[in-house]
Chain A
Amino acid sequence: MTSTDTLSITPQPTRLPIRFGQFLPLAPPSIMLIFIFAIPMGMMIALSFRGADGALLTLDNYQRFFSDDLMLAGLWRTALMSGLVAICVTVMAYPVAYYLARSTSRWRTVVFALAIAPELAGVVLRTYGWLVILEDHGAINSILIWSGMISEPLPLSKNLLGVVIGLTHVVLPFGILSLLTSIQGIDPNLERAAQILGASRLSIIRRIILPLSVPGIVSSLLIAFTMSASAYATPALLGGAGFKVLATMVYEQVLFYIDWPLAAVMAVLLLILMLTMTLAGTRAEARLQRKLHV
C-alpha cells in the first residue's frame, strides 16, 4: 500500500467499542451497594406487600396504615417536623454562610470552627444537652420560675417545639456547608457592580445574592428535610412518648408489636416522602431561579 492510499482512507469513527475493563474499578463498590443497600431495600419493599395469610402481593398492610388516624398523624407529623427544621436551618445557616463566604477577617476561621464543631459531639450527646436545657426542670424553666416570671414550667420539650430546636441544632452545620459552597461560587464583583449602579444592601441581597444562591438554598432545605425525616434519636429523646414520627414508629412496630410488614410500610412511606421532596425541590429550583430575578 502506498502512502497516498493511506492518506485517502477516511478516518474511522473514533468511538471505541465499550470495553468492560473500564468498568472494572466500579465493580467492588457496586457489589457492595447491591448487598448492603439494594437487596435489603428490595426485601423491605417486598415485605410491605406481604399478607398475614402468606399472600405475596397485597395492599392489606397499606390499608391498615391509612385507616389508622394515629399512624396518619405520625406521617403528617414527620412532614411537618422536617419541613419546619428545613426552614429553620436554612434561615439560620444563611447569614453564617454568607459571612463565611465573604469575610476576610481572621475571625472567619474561628466562626467556621464554631459552626462545624457541634458535629464532633454525637447526636445523642447533643440531644441530652438540649434536654437539660429545655425540660420542665431544665435550665430555662428553672431560671424563669426562680425569677418569678412564670409559675408553671413552659412546655419546651416533649413536643414539636423541643424536637425542632434539637434537630435544627443537629442539622445546622450541613445547611451551612451546602450554602457556603453555593455563595462562595458567586463572584464578589457582582455585588460591587450592583452597588456602584446604586443598589442598596437590601436590593443586592434580594436581586443578586438570593437568586444566585437558589441551588444552595434548595440543597440546604433538602439535606435538612431528609436528615430530619430519618432522624431517630432526637425525636425519641426530646419528643417524649407521645411524639411519634415515622422513624420512631418503625422502631416501635419492630420491637414491641413485632409487626414487620407494617414497619416496612412505614419505611416505604418515609422513603417516598423523602424522594418526593427531593424531586419537587430540584424541579422547583429551576423555576424559582427564573422567577426570583425580576
Chain B
Amino acid sequence: MSSNDIEMISVTKAYGSHRAVNEVNLAIPAGEFVSILGPSGCGKTTTLNMIAGFAHPSSGDIRIRGKSQNGVPPEKRGIGMVFQNYALFPHMTVEENVAFGLKMKKRPIGEIRDAVKHALRRVHLDGYGERYPKELSGGQQQRAALARAIAPEPSLLLLDEPLSNLDLKLREAMRVELKDIQEQLAMTFVYVTHDQDEAMAMSDRIVVMQNGVVAQCGRPADIYDHPRSSFVADFIGKSNLLPIQEVQRSGKDWVVSVATGLSLRAKTPDDTLADPPQYCCIRPEAVRLTMVESDASTSANRLAGTLTRMVNLGAYFDCFVTLQDGTVLKSLVRSTRLPGLTSNQTVFLSIEREAVQLLPR
C-alpha cells in the first residue's frame, strides 16, 4: 500500500481548447493538511472536482489510496466533501443531514445515532440537531456541513473554500478548529482556498497553482522563505519584486543590477545559480529602516531614500521608501520602534545579502 492518499499523475482537464488544469503532478501523503492555493480561475475547484469524481481528467491518472479512480463514481470513492455554499439539505434537520451519509452506508440505527451525536459534539453543535439549516447562522451551517462530512469517518476530506462566506473573526476561529479536527481524526484534508493567510495558518503543505499548473509545492515556511518564482513570491506574503537586468559575480556574492539602475549584492545558499534570474525578491520585513545612517562596516546593502508613504497596520507600519533612482521599496516597521517617524523625511535602509533572493521567473 502506498503512503500517499492521493496521487495525481500528469492530470490535464481541458474545456475545449482551454486547459483548466494542465499536467498536474501531485502526491498528498496520508494524514496531511494540504492546501491548494491560487487566484480565482487557476483550476482549484476543477482539481478538487476531479479528485471527488465530479469531473473526469482529459488525460492522466488519479489514484486514491494507491488505486486508480478511472471510472469510479463519486459515491464509491469513500471521501467526504465540504462545499463552499455548504449544500445542506434544506428539507432535513441538522441531525438528518449528518445522518445521511451513514444511512446511505446502511449502518445500524443505533450506530448512526451515536455517530451523529459524536459528530455534532465535535463541531460544537450539540443541541442544534432538531433545527433546520435555515434556522442556523452562517457559522453554524458551516459546522453542520463539516459534521455531515466527517460523520461517516472518511479518511479523506475535500474542502472547497469552506470559510469564504464567514466574517474575519469567525474565519480565524474556524481555522483553529478545522486544524484540531484534522489532527484528532488523523484525516487527510485537501483544502482549497485563495486566502494565503488561511493556507499558511493551517497547512502542512501548500500547493500554489497558477493558470492550471502547480507553481510550487512545499511546507508553508519553505514557500515563504524560498519562493521559486515571482508569482509565488507575490502571492504568498508581501514582497518587493524588482526586475533584474544583469547579474555579475563579485567574490562570493552576486551583484544584481535592477532596471532602474539600482544595484544590490545578493548571496545564494549554495553560491550557485540554477537558471538566469529574472527577478529579485526582498520581503518587507527584511528591509531594515533607520533614521540615522547605519554602520558602514556591515556587509549588508545600504541605501538611502525618502519615506513617501506610511500605512498604519496597527502593530506595524507599511513604509514606502523612494530611493534616489526612483525605485520604491516597502519596509515593515514595528510601530513602537521608531516613534518620531514621519513621511517625507530621509531614511536609511539596510538589506542583508541573504535576504535578496534571485528568482528565475
The closest CB in chain A to the CB of B49 belongs to A192
A208 cross-chain contacts in B, Cβ below 8 A: 89
Binds A, one of B77-85, B326-334, B337-345: B77-85
Q: Does B27 contact A (CB under 8 A)?
A: no
- On B, residues with C-beta under 8 Å from A are 52-54, 73-75, 77, 79-81, 83, 85, 87-92, 96, 100-101, 104-105, 148, 152
Do B152 and A194 have beta carbons less than 8 Å apart? no
Encode A194-210 as 1/0 by CB contact (under 8 A) with B. 11111110010001100
Q: Is the interface of A mostly helix, strand, loop or mixed?
A: helix
Do A198 and B87 have beta carbons less than 8 Å apart? no
Do A196 and B104 have beta carbons less than 8 Å apart? no
Assembly CA distance A200 to B73 (angstroms) = 10
Find B75's partner among A189, A200, A212, A293 (CB 8 Å cutoff): A200
A194 cross-chain contacts in B, Cβ below 8 A: 89, 100, 104
Q: Does A211 contact B (CB under 8 A)?
A: yes
B52 cross-chain contacts in A, Cβ below 8 A: 192, 196
Known A-B contacts A189-B85, A293-B96; the reply to A195 vs B75 at CB < 8 A is: yes
B83 cross-chain contacts in A, Cβ below 8 A: 189, 192-193
Q: Is the interface of B mostly helix, strand, loop or mixed?
A: loop
Q: Does A69 contact B (CB under 8 A)?
A: no
Assembly CA distance A194 to B75 (angstroms) = 8
Known A-B contacts A198-B75, A293-B96; the reply to A192 vs B90 at CB < 8 A is: no
Find B89's partner among A190, A195, A198 (CB 8 Å cutoff): A190
Assembly CA distance A190 to B89 (angstroms) = 6
B74 cross-chain contacts in A, Cβ below 8 A: 192, 195-196
Do B91 and A293 have beta carbons less than 8 Å apart? yes
Chain B nearest CB from A135 CB (Å) reads 47
Do A190 and B104 have beta carbons less than 8 Å apart? no
A-B contact pairs, 11 of them (CB 8 A): A192-B52, A192-B74, A193-B81, A196-B52, A196-B75, A196-B79, A199-B75, A212-B90, A293-B91, A293-B92, A293-B96
Assembly CA distance A198 to B52 (angstroms) = 12
Q: Does A187 contact B (CB under 8 A)?
A: yes
Q: Does A248 contact B (CB under 8 A)?
A: no
Chain A nearest CB from B115 CB (Å) reads 13
A200 cross-chain contacts in B, Cβ below 8 A: 75, 104
- On A, residues with C-beta under 8 Å from B are 187, 189-190, 192-200, 203, 207-208, 211-212, 289, 292-293
A293 cross-chain contacts in B, Cβ below 8 A: 89, 91-92, 96
Do A192 and B87 have beta carbons less than 8 Å apart? yes
A190 cross-chain contacts in B, Cβ below 8 A: 87, 89
Do B96 and A198 have beta carbons less than 8 Å apart? no
Do A289 and B85 have beta carbons less than 8 Å apart? no
Known A-B contacts A197-B104, A197-B152, A199-B104; the reply to A192 vs B54 at CB < 8 A is: yes
B88 cross-chain contacts in A, Cβ below 8 A: 193
Assembly CA distance A194 to B80 (angstroms) = 10
Do B91 and A197 have beta carbons less than 8 Å apart? no
Chain B nearest CB from A289 CB (Å) reads 7
Do A289 and B91 have beta carbons less than 8 Å apart? yes
- The 3 A-B residue pairs with the shortest CB-CB distance, nearest first, are A197-B101, A198-B104, A189-B87
Chain B nearest CB from A37 CB (Å) reads 37
Assembly CA distance A293 to B90 (angstroms) = 10
Assembly CA distance A198 to B101 (angstroms) = 6
Chain A nearest CB from B162 CB (Å) reads 12
Chain A nearest CB from B242 CB (Å) reads 44
Assembly CA distance A236 to B29 (angstroms) = 73
A195 cross-chain contacts in B, Cβ below 8 A: 54, 73-75
Chain A nearest CB from B90 CB (Å) reads 7
A207 cross-chain contacts in B, Cβ below 8 A: 100
B100 cross-chain contacts in A, Cβ below 8 A: 194, 197, 199, 207
Chain A nearest CB from B15 CB (Å) reads 11
A195-B73, A200-B104 known; 16 new pairs, CB 8 Å cut-off, are A192-B52, A192-B81, A192-B83, A194-B89, A196-B53, A197-B75, A197-B101, A197-B148, A198-B104, A199-B75, A200-B75, A208-B89, A211-B91, A212-B91, A292-B91, A293-B92
Interface centre among B75, B80, B105 (most CB of A within 10 A): B75
Assembly CA distance A197 to B101 (angstroms) = 5
B91 cross-chain contacts in A, Cβ below 8 A: 211-212, 289, 292-293
Assembly CA distance A109 to B97 (angstroms) = 35
Chain A nearest CB from B54 CB (Å) reads 6
Assembly CA distance A189 to B86 (angstroms) = 9
The closest CB in chain B to the CB of A212 belongs to B91
Do A187 and B85 have beta carbons less than 8 Å apart? yes
Do A198 and B105 have beta carbons less than 8 Å apart? yes
Do B104 and A203 have beta carbons less than 8 Å apart? yes
The closest CB in chain A to the CB of B101 belongs to A197
Chain B nearest CB from A103 CB (Å) reads 16
The closest CB in chain B to the CB of A204 belongs to B75
B101 cross-chain contacts in A, Cβ below 8 A: 197-198
B53 cross-chain contacts in A, Cβ below 8 A: 196
Assembly CA distance A289 to B75 (angstroms) = 26
Find B87's partner among A193, A199, A212 (CB 8 Å cutoff): A193
Known A-B contacts A192-B54, A198-B152; the reply to A187 vs B87 at CB < 8 A is: yes
Assembly CA distance A192 to B152 (angstroms) = 16
A193 cross-chain contacts in B, Cβ below 8 A: 81, 83, 87-89, 148
Assembly CA distance A235 to B81 (angstroms) = 53
The closest CB in chain A to the CB of B158 belongs to A196
The closest CB in chain B to the CB of A208 belongs to B89
Interface centre among A190, A198, A207 (most CB of B within 10 A): A198
A211 cross-chain contacts in B, Cβ below 8 A: 91
Do A196 and B81 have beta carbons less than 8 Å apart? yes
Chain A nearest CB from B202 CB (Å) reads 22
